Amino acid sequence: MTSPRSDHRKIFRFAAVFLAGLVLVSCTGCAWLHQVFSLSGPQSTMVTEGPVARSQWDLFLVTCWVTGGIFLVVGSVLAYAQIKFRAKSEADEKSPPPPQGHGNPLIEIGLIVASVGLLVIIAIPTVRDIWYTHDVPEAEKGNALDVTATGYQWWFKFEYPNELVKLPTGGEAPLVTGNELVVPAGRPVRVQLRTVDVIHSFWIPKLAGKVDMMPNRPNFLWFKAERPGYFYGQCAEYCGESHAIMKFRVIALAQADYDQWLARQKQPARTVPAPALAAAGLPQVRFASLKLNDGRALAGSTEFDANPLAAWQKMQEPAAGENPALIAAGRKLFSSKTCISCHTTRGHEGIGITGPDLTHVGARSTIAAGVLENTPERLSQWLHEPAHFKPGNKMYFGGYLVQDPTGAWKQNFTLNDAEVNALVAYLHSLK
């Protein structure tokens, strides 16, 4: 037989088990939680590495404590009422319910005052942090680096408006990089956020975020990496098929290393002097094909991420055993296969702007917007089958395939194994 009272008893038992579970979980400690839910992973907001992310984390904690306190008070009153007024015997169960009271002005006013007080406790740091995260603090403004980040489906362009490079045509333009934002550690970075298509959102969990990249409206955020490091970024606003793998990296360097990186980036694309090429000289190796849903494909699944900063640094130098003939063949293919219409290789033939700037792509640690490590194997797999890794991506749909007037997709060009190998050698020579 179920009566309202035995229902109450069930609720009471459930609440007791739930609370006991909660206590158990909190007692077993943070280390366990961190491990099970990988709270300290590369995209964790709980291990902060800069003042902006820290202010956001602190605010989260204030809110947690206040709401946790409310939960405890309300939960205790509920538990108390459940125990105190429960039916203790058969007779209790059959007796009429106790007199029902409502409308105690003292309690009602008390609750309103308490709620307002708690909201004020949350509001003060919230408002303070809104101002704090909006722009670089006055005292540090002179030391700030300006960057413009632009979202594309599904990658990021980074521009340095105050770092001008000479164009082959004679003019000057801001330095442009793709998918890897290199900044000096210890200095504030003010990021202007833009998009060329839909709404994206800029988020570097350990440093700052999230702020939307809105069409036709610049937004801003700033961050500071307190020490040199390698940080993961992620688009945080659903923006289409490959949204979940629209990533980027932030590499923070000591000022001297940053200056060195900057000087190299300002150089035009690196040219390796080419000997005459015998057609049979192109190697025919092909790496096994691989799909994104194979765990091995993703950057972050190998030794690379044991020390990504060191891996990034290694990419800055030309690899031993470069093959100049192969590189020259790759450069030719880069033109003949229409890569140049979407990608810039400043100083070489590439002048396109619909894909990431590849002038120094060989010095990046990842490709395909932070999704794949920039190894010969992965780059080769990317060029063979870009659509395997990023569904819908605009290099495959629009480059490898084009739409005829009826809207049907047809093959525009194909790449055989030898051609991919040459392109990989060329792209990796672009340090």
Q: Which residues lie near ligand HEC (CB under 6 A)?
A: 154-155, 178-179, 242, 334, 337-339, 341-343, 354-356, 358, 361, 364, 367-369, 383, 390, 393-395, 398-399, 423, 427
User: Tokens representing 27?
Assistant: 């007692």
Indicate the residue among 268 and 386 with the shorter CB distance to Cu ion. Answer: 386
Query: 308 is in the binding site of which of ligand HEC, Cu ion, none (Cβ under 5 to 8 A by kind)?
Result: none
Query: 368 is in the binding site of which of ligand HEC, Cu ion, none (Cβ under 5 to 8 A by kind)?
Result: ligand HEC
Rounded least distance, CB 156 to ligand HEC, Å: 9
Indicate the residue among 151 and 330 with the shorter CB distance to Cu ion. Answer: 151
Of positions 183, 208, 235, 311, contacts Cu ion by CB under 5 A: 235
Rounded least distance, CB 293 to ligand HEC, Å: 17
Backbone angles phi, psi at 179, to 5 degrees: 65, -15
If binding means CB under 5 A, how many residues of this protein chain bind Cu ion?
4
CB 297 within 8 A of CB 389: yes
Residues 394, 392: Cα–Cα separation, whole Å: 6
Indicate the residue among 325 and 340 with the shorter CB distance to ligand HEC. Answer: 340
Indicate the residue among 48 and 242 with the shorter CB distance to Cu ion. Answer: 242
Using only C-alpha atoms, the chain has a radius of gyration, in whole angstroms, of 29
Rounded least distance, CB 247 to ligand HEC, Å: 9
Query: 239 is in the binding site of which of Cu ion, ligand HEC, none (Cβ under 5 to 8 A by kind)?
Result: Cu ion
Indicate the residue among 209 and 330 with the shorter CB distance to ligand HEC. Answer: 330
Q: How long is the chain? A: 431
Q: Tell me the window of 2-10, 111-119, 230-238, 357-365 that interacts with Cu ion (CB under 5 A).
A: 230-238
Indicate the residue among 59 and 427 with the shorter CB distance to ligand HEC. Answer: 427
Binding site for Cu ion (CB under 5 A): 200, 235, 239, 246
